[in-house]
Amino acid sequence: MVITDDCCDHYKCAPEDVVHVLWSCLFLSSVWTHDPYWNFSASPLFSTTVWMFWFRRNVLRTSSKPFPVQQVFHEARFVRAVYVRSIPPKPTDQYNRAPYLITWKPPPWPKLKVNFDGSVFRDENLASVSVIIRDENGRMVASMVEKFPLPFSVTAMEVIATKKAFKFAFDLGLSSIVLEGNSKNTIDALLSEDSSLVDFGHLLDEAKMLANQFVDVEFTHVKKQGNIQPTII
């Protein structure tokens, strides 16, 4: 249907703009006073009611039987209720489950935990390794930071950092350690028996040789949040 004028269907002398529909039109403004519990701060219901105004206006212009204006608010509440019921409920465990906090965990006695992390300084064409060693009570036994030339890949840098962490622990005379880092690829590679399929296989073989110098060595992966201490030495 093509509209030839912008006059209100109820008051032909007034233009049908937003201000008129919501506030000036005496016929439509009765909706706001029809329900004693109406509150303009209820924005979802307000927007649905405004939409219902325009829906009724379209029905009025295309049909001879529009619903009474007194039903606008009732219809808006009904439509809103149908929409709310259509929203699937959130799983109950999202309300009850506490956020999972990743923290550093102490090693079993008598082992010491060696946390290491590699960093890249591209502007200087350098990399660095940070190492911190702690006992079963979380007390720091030793720590170190060492820079070295930036290798050909980040993964290679992590393996070199692993080698330096092993060497630092061995030079301290440690024999039973838990090596922990946040590079999952590196930890998985150390746990794997095959190093021939990776492009840093020779570095990995050297790291495994250093690991074999210890009486007891364990490899664990932890996310960055649980391995933060080496990065702040």
Q: How many CA atoms lie within 13 A of 155 on its CB side?
A: 14
What is the number of other CB atoms lying within 10 angstroms of the CB of residue 202?
Answer: 12
Structure tokens at 56: 């009724």
For residue 173, the model assigns a pLDDT of 95
For residue 19, the model assigns a pLDDT of 63
Q: Helix 154-171 crosses helix 184-191 at what angle (to 10 degrees)? A: 60
CB 115 within 8 A of CB 180: yes
Q: What is the CATH number of domain 112-232?
A: 3.30.420.10
Alpha-carbon dihedral angle through residues 77, 83, 88, 90, given to the nearest 10 degrees: -50
For residue 197, the model assigns a pLDDT of 47
Q: Which long-range contacts (CB under 8 A, 24 or more apart) does 96-101 make?
A: none
CA distances from 199 to 68, 152, 156, 160, 204 (A): 76, 10, 8, 13, 10
* Adjacent-strand bridge partners of 119: 128
pLDDT tens-digit profile, the chain (233 residues)? 555 656 666 555 666 666 666 666 666 666 666 666 566 666 777 777 777 777 777 776 666 666 677 777 777 777 778 778 788 877 665 555 656 677 889 999 999 999 999 888 888 889 999 999 999 999 999 999 999 998 888 888 899 999 999 999 999 999 999 999 988 888 888 888 776 545 667 888 899 999 999 999 999 999 887 775 555 55
The pTM for the full model equals 0.56
3-state secondary structure of 219: strand
For residue 179, the model assigns a pLDDT of 95
Distance CA 6, CA 15 (A): 5
Distance CA 59, CA 144 (A): 77
Nearest to 216 by CA among 182, 185, 176: 176
Distance CA 118, CA 30 (A): 70
DSSP 107: P
Q: Tell me the domain boundaries of the chain.
A: 18-87, 112-232
Distance CA 187, CA 179 (A): 9
Which element (helix H / strand E) includes 187?
helix 184-191
Distance CA 228, CA 233 (A): 9
End-to-end CA distance of the chain: 74
